[in-house]
Amino acid sequence: MTTDAVSIKEDKSQTIHIYGPVPSRRLGFSLGIDIIPFKTCSLNCIYCQLGPTTKKTIHRKEYLSSSEILSQIKKKLSSGQRIDYITFSGSGEPTLNKTLGKLIREIRKITSIPVAVLTNSTLLSQKSTRNALMDADLVVPSLDAATQEIFVKVNRPHSSLKLEEIIEGLRKFRQEFKGSIWLEIMLVKGVNDSPSHIRKLKEAIAKIKPDKVQLNTVIRPPAEEFARPLSLRELEKINKVFGKNCEIIAEFSREAQKSTAENLEGAILSLIQRRPVTLADISNSLGKHKNEIIKYLNFLLVEGKIKSVIHKGLKYFEPK
Ligand code: SF4
């Protein structure tokens, strides 16, 4: 259980760029594409389910081999599994990868499955980032704050990022992009859920004009213990304020996941029953992406089958 052993394993897991298809309430069976090294991001959100950001940057570059990623996608597409969306999300902010636009265009050449991109919106103030997303079918940008002060509290951004410029980038993107935009807002109790801040968010939404607004809260284990969820009732009140294009997407039950590979959950549980393991240990042992593992860990935590403990700064999972 040394730190070194864990970090070596973390590097090895970077070779897995594709995960799923994982069932998602919003996107059906979604094939996840991860084009960023683990926790490379322009933000360090207090609610991040992947833990603290290890490389905070706004520098766009290739990061990982696009030909390797494309060959993994082709292999997966030929497996015949049901895939409703090909989704760029993963271990950090996907728009930091400079080849994102090229990857989307290449995917378009080989399949008609729609392409979605989940982004934290921070780089949309740059024309080149907006252009990279033009060939996607769906973009799900997030916006958790309407003032710089709350932005700093909830998203802990790279020092150069200004919320005003991000909102303006989102507004321009709406004008230029022909596909759908579903704006996601992650609400954290006592941080960005005050009535006055919700009113300001409503004003920002009116400028951006997304097709939908989707409300989420801290359901999965967050980077910081103090990041607490809102109740369904509290979300419903805010949903009403935002009006008819708004919906709650927080998964308070595992209904959407009922049909998924119970074998994977069983395999995770049996690993945990043998010895305390980290997320990276499980990901490497089972050859599955961390994001896929996190989903099942969360269910096991909520159902009280396992617990998490911190040991020498690392989070371990063990039987309850
Ligand atoms: S939640 Fe997304 S945007 Fe925020 S730190 Fe994690 S990966 Fe980055």
pLDDT band, very low/low/confident/very high, at 253 (cuts 50, 70, 90): low
Whole-angstrom Cα Rg for the chain: 19
Question: Which residues contact residue 303 at a Cβ distance below 8 angstroms, ignoring those fewer than 6 apart?
Answer: none
- Based on the domain organization, do 6 and 42 belong to the same domain? no
Q: What is the pLDDT of residue 101?
A: 97
- Domain shared by 111 and 232, yes or no: yes
Confidence of residue 266 (pLDDT cuts 50, 70, 90): confident
Q: What is the pLDDT of residue 4?
A: 28
Q: What residues are paired with 61 via a beta bridge?
A: 97
- Domain containing 34 — which CATH number? 3.20.20.70
Q: Is 222 in the pocket of ligand 1 (CB under 6 A)?
A: no
Residue 21 placed within a domain: no
Residues 209 and 81 in one domain: yes
Which of these ranges, 55-69, 172-186, 188-202, has the smallest mean pLDDT?
55-69
Measured distance CA(63)–CA(85) in Å, rounded: 23
pLDDT of 261: 55
Write down which residue in 199, 229, 250 finishes a domain: 250
Residue 1 pLDDT greater than 50, yes or no = no
**C-alpha torsion 120→124→130→133, nearest 10:** 0
Residue 203 lies in a domain: yes
Residue 166 lies in a domain: yes
H/E stretch holding 236:
helix 232-242
pLDDT for the residue 262? 58
Going by the DSSP 8-state scheme, the letter that residue 304 receives in this structure is T
Residues 117 and 224 placed together within one structural domain of the fold = yes
pLDDT value at residue 6: 29
Task: Please indicate whether residue 120, judged by its CB atom, sits closer than 6 Å to ligand 1.
Answer: yes
Instruction: Name which residue sits closest to atom 6 of ligand 1, judged by CA.
Output: 48
Question: Ranked by mean pLDDT, which of 9-23, 60-74, 121-135, 289-303 comes out on top?
Answer: 121-135
189 and 298 co-located in one domain: no
Check residue 190 and give its pLDDT. Answer: 97
Q: What is the per-residue pLDDT for 207?
A: 97
Same domain for 194 and 99?
yes
Percent of the chain residues topping a pLDDT of 70: 91
51 lies in some domain: yes
For tokens 């980038």, what's the residue?
Answer: 169
Each residue's pLDDT tens digit, 14-30:
456 888 887 777 888 88
**Domain enclosing residue 210, as ranges:** 26-250
- Kindly state the average pLDDT of the residues 54-60: 96
Å from CA of 43 to ligand 1 middle: 6
Statement to judge: residues 158 and 129 lie in one domain: yes
In a domain, 33, yes or no: yes
2 part of a folded domain = yes
Which atom of ligand 1 has the smallest separation from the CA of 50?
A: 6
Residues 279 and 294: beta-carbon distance below 8 Å? yes
If you measure from the C-alpha of residue 48 to the centroid of ligand 1, how many angstroms do you get, rounded to a whole number?
Answer: 5
Q: Are residues 76 and 109 in the same domain?
A: yes
Residue 248 pLDDT > 90, yes or no? Answer: yes
One domain, residues 140 and 76: yes
Kindly state if the Cβ of 40 falls inside 6 Å of ligand 1: no
**How is the chain split among helix, strand and coil, in percent rounded to 5?**
40, 20, 40
Q: Is the pLDDT of residue 136 over 90?
A: yes
Checking if the pLDDT of 320 tops 60, the result is yes
Residue of the CA atom closest to atom 1 of ligand 1: 48
Same domain, yes or no, for 2 and 137?
A: no
User: Do 45 and 169 have their domain in common?
Assistant: yes
Number of domains in the chain: 2
| Protein residue closest via CA to atom 4 of ligand 1 | 45
103 within domain boundaries: yes
Q: Given 202, 232, 250, which residue is the final one in a domain?
A: 250
The domain boundary, picked from 196, 223, 250, lies at 250
